């Protein structure tokens, strides 16, 4: 899940510059291209592992884990991590300009694509398995096409519409497929989680469609910092309504999960993704989304012992096949 950004302004270019002196690798691949692949893989691996960690946190300590408070802390950590870029004068200038000129737009996309998307994708793991949540949430390209037509009047060719239809069939099939993991079997409870994960995909789609201009204008990492900061501020008024048991914040499991999902899967993963966009074409990088899903499915099978029935496997193939057809149409 990402903004389709071309011409991203990234403040931490030292890594690529340091290795760039070596020119080309012996295999003929430019070092900067390799650096882009490594950054893309790092972001993909982080996002793929998020569903495993989230499901593990709810499974082991769900009674003491308040999802609203946990989401607030994740956004706070992500904003604090990305604030380090403000040591660069250019980034401070861009951030100040963005806040002065587009603060309303940032508040809107932060509410939908940061607060709601982050909360829904995490809370869904309290009800459904990691693989099912990942599959539903990664259907955001379908929602993106729908919103792009409604908001921007962008049209999708027939082959893209066919891919969207195939993806819908896969979603419906996955919703009614049997299965489960070490924490619970599927049922009505998992349908609730599937719905929350699917809703998070629609929130991210709105974020993608309405945030594209901001990303091109100010750069991906700067935009993400402002969005995480705005999301943190937007959640402050609802903190008095947090009613869950907060004793879990002192547990080592909670702290490890918080730092990993806040710093690694939110802050650093986004920085790696937008860094990769400097060296790889968006169409090439878009294929990494399938790798993210594959990582989630593999880890869920190994770590959480999730059961993949033939119906669910067919749903995965239909959904990913439909998304692949849509993305192929967009690249053409």
Enter the tokens of residue 45. 């691996």
Which range among 13-17, 58-62, 68-72 shows the weakest confidence by mean pLDDT? 13-17
Residue 246 pLDDT exceeds 70: no
How many CA atoms does the CB half-sphere of 315 hold within 13 Å? Answer: 23
Can you tell me whether residue 308 is helix, strand or coil?
Answer: strand
Can you tell me whether residue 217 is helix, strand or coil?
Answer: helix
- Counting every residue written for the chain, the total comes to 332
* DSSP secondary structure string for all residues of 234-264: HHGGGGGG--S-GGGGGSHHHHHHHHIIIII
- What is the C-alpha separation between 294 and 165, in angstroms, rounded? 22
Mean pLDDT over 130-139 rounds to 87
How many CA atoms does the CB half-sphere of 62 hold within 13 Å? Answer: 14
Residue 9 pLDDT exceeds 80: no
Mean pLDDT over 165-169 rounds to 81
- What is the C-alpha separation between 116 and 131, in angstroms, rounded? 20
- What is the C-alpha separation between 77 and 198, in angstroms, rounded? 25
Enter the tokens of residue 157. 């060719």
Output b/e per residue, 10-30; b: 16+ Cβ within 10 A: bbeeeebeeeeeeeeeeeeee
- What is the C-alpha separation between 285 and 40, in angstroms, rounded? 7
- What is the C-alpha separation between 274 and 39, in angstroms, rounded? 9
* DSSP secondary structure string for all residues of 96-142: HHHHHHHHHHHHHHIIIIIIIHHHHHHHGGGTS-HHHHHHHHTTHHH
Residue 260 pLDDT exceeds 70: yes
* DSSP secondary structure string for all residues of 170-201: HHHHHHT--EE-SS-B-SHHHHHHHHHHHHHH
Can you tell me whether residue 30 is helix, strand or coil?
Answer: strand
Which range among 24-33, 159-168, 177-186, 316-325 shows the weakest confidence by mean pLDDT? 24-33
pLDDT of residue 320: 80
Question: What confidence category does residue 26 fall into, taking pLDDT thresholds of 50, 70 and 90?
Answer: very low
- What is the C-alpha separation between 16 and 38, in angstroms, rounded? 11
pLDDT of residue 11: 42
Residue 145 pLDDT exceeds 80: no
Residue 143 pLDDT exceeds 50: yes
pLDDT of residue 202: 86
Give, as one character, the DSSP assignment of residue 267: I
**What are 190-243's pLDDT values in tens digits?**
889 999 998 998 888 888 778 878 888 888 889 899 999 999 999 999 888 777
CB contact at 8 A, 306 and 300:
yes
Residue 272 pLDDT exceeds 60: yes
Q: CB-based contacts of 262: which residues, under 8 Å, 6+ apart?
A: 73, 74, 75, 76, 77, 78, 81
Question: What confidence category does residue 94 fall into, taking pLDDT thresholds of 50, 70 and 90?
Answer: very high
Whole-model pTM: value is 0.82
**What are 302-326's pLDDT values in tens digits?**
999 998 888 888 888 888 887 777 6
């Amino acid at each position: 899940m990402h903004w389709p950004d071309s011409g991203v302004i990234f403040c931490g270019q030292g890594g690529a510059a340091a290795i760039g002196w070596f020119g080309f690798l012996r295999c003929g691949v430019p070092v900067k291209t390799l650096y882009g692949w490594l950054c893309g893989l790092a972001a993909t691996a982080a996002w793929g592992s998020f569903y495993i960690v989230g499901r593990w946190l709810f499974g082991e300590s769900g009674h003491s884990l308040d999802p609203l408070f946990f989401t607030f802390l994740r956004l706070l950590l992500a904003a604090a991590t990305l604030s380090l870029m403000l040591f660069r004068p250019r980034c401070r200038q861009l951030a100040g300009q963005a806040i002065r000129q587009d603060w309303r737009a940032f508040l809107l996309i932060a509410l939908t694509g940061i607060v709601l998307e982050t909360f829904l994708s995490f809370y869904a793991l309290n009800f459904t398995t990691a693989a099912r949540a990942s599959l539903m949430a990664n259907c955001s390209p379908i929602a993106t096409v729908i919103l792009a037509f409604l908001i921007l009047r962008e049209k999708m060719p027939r082959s893209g519409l066919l891919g969207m239809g195939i993806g819908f069939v896969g979603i419906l099939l996955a919703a009614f497929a049997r299965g489960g993991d070490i924490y619970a079997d599927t049922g009505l409870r998992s349908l609730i989680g599937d719905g929350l994960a699917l809703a998070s995909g629609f929130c991210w789609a709105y974020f993608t469609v309405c945030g594209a201009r901001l990303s091109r204008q100010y750069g991906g990492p700067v935009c993400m910092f402002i969005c995480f900061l705005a999301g943190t501020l937007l959640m402050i008024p609802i903190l008095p309504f947090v009613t869950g048991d907060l004793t879990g914040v002192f547990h080592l499991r909670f702290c490890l999960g918080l730092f990993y999902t806040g710093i690694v899967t939110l802050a650093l993963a986004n920085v790696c993704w937008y860094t990769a966009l400097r060296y790889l074409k968006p169409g090439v990088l878009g294929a990494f989304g399938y790798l993210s899903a594959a990582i989630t499915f593999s880890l869920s099978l190994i770590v959480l012992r999730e059961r993949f029935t033939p119906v669910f496997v067919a749903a995965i193939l239909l959904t990913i096949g439909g998304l692949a057809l849509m993305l192929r149409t967009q690249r053409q």
